[in-house]
Structures are given as structure tokens and as C-alpha cells.
Amino acid sequence: MNIEQTGLPGVVVLSPRVYRDPRGFFMETWNQERYADEGLPGAFVQDNLSESRRGVLRGLHYQYPAAQGKLLQVLRGEIYDVAVDIRRGSPNFGQWVGVVLSGDNQRQIYVPEGFAHGFMVTSDSALFSYKCTNLYRPQDEGTVLWNDPDLGIDWPIAEPILSPKDLAGVRLKEISADRLPVFDAAGRDADGGAGHEGRSEPTHYMRTA
């Protein structure tokens, strides 16, 4: 398995080993021991599956205080996946990275607790799977505005299809401090979420095909 650090420490792109032959292919999408060796958490408690059509944008979502880390993968189609550091006190607060995930490249991305997450479908449709480190708790859910001008995310489609909830998202600077996670320089969210070491410099934009 190949691990690619992004410009946001904790957000990593994984390329699991794929075994191909004339019949098709086989791959492990999760192995607790192997992923733990790479510094990823092993305590996933919920799996989700989502299907969306071209132009749909879901996000930017987060949970607090019951924060969720997410291991994400596209099974069919293609998406543009975005993670935003929203931890108060983080040197990368408000910074984001974007990665192309598809059924063809078979890559995964890990988005730690303390980050907002969203994705946009760039193929005719996409089937999207992800594992979560905490259960979904609607009372803890928050939505950062998808086109927050302070973030400046370069989405590949200018006029996405949005749910009423995502249309009503809030600019990051307008979210009260007590509704945001807290950064801890020791490499963990102050509220208990584990981090993953990586480069310290922020990256506004990273598109990898």
C-alpha cells in the first residue's frame, strides 16, 4: 500500500495494492493491522454508502463534539473530494486539499476528526463508500458553506446540485468557537481525536488524478 501525504497533516491518500488477472481484480479496502501500522485509527464504528449523479455536491460536513474521522473510497464513477481544517488554533485553519477519487484509480483518502469534508460528482454518477470513527449524531452535525469565499475551494463544476441543508451552510468565520473542534499541537484534537503526522506547510489546492 502506498501512502501519500497531503499539504494538511493528518489527511493522507492511500493506494491499496490491487491484484489483477484475466478474471478481474482483488484488493483489501481495509485491514486493521496494516492500516494501524500506517498510523490510521482502527476504531471504525459505522460504514456508509452513497450514490449521487453528476454535479451533486455534498458538504462541507463535520460533527462536533462527537467528531468523525472518515476513510473514503469511490467504488464506481469519479468525485472531487475536499477536506478542510476547521480546528481552532490550528496553523492550517481554513486550509483545504482536494483529491480526485474514482473507481478506476481505486485510491482512498483519510480525513481525520476535526476536519470538514465534502465531495462533488464529476462522472455521470458515483457510488461512494466510507468508514467512520464515530456514529452519526445529527445533533452534533455542522455544515460549512460549500463556496465560502474565505476558503476559495476550486470546485470543478460552478453550479452544483445541493440539498437545502447544504445551501444553508455557514461561512467558517461565522461559526461560533464553541461549535468548532480545537487543535492540539501534540498531534491530537484537544477533544480526543488522533492525528496522523505529515508535512507542516499548508496547501490550498491539490488536485491529483
Active site residue 64: no
Active site residue 61: yes
Please give the Cα distance from 51 to 153 (Å, whole number).
23
Please give the Cα distance from 109 to 125 (Å, whole number).
19
Select which of 61, 80, 117, 196 is catalytic.
61
Please give the angle made by the CA atoms of 201, 207 and 208, to the nearest 5 degrees. 105
* Buried b / exposed e along 21-52 (16+ C-beta atoms within 10 A): eeeeeeeeeeeeeebeeebbbeebeeeeeeeb
- The residues assigned a catalytic role are 61, 130
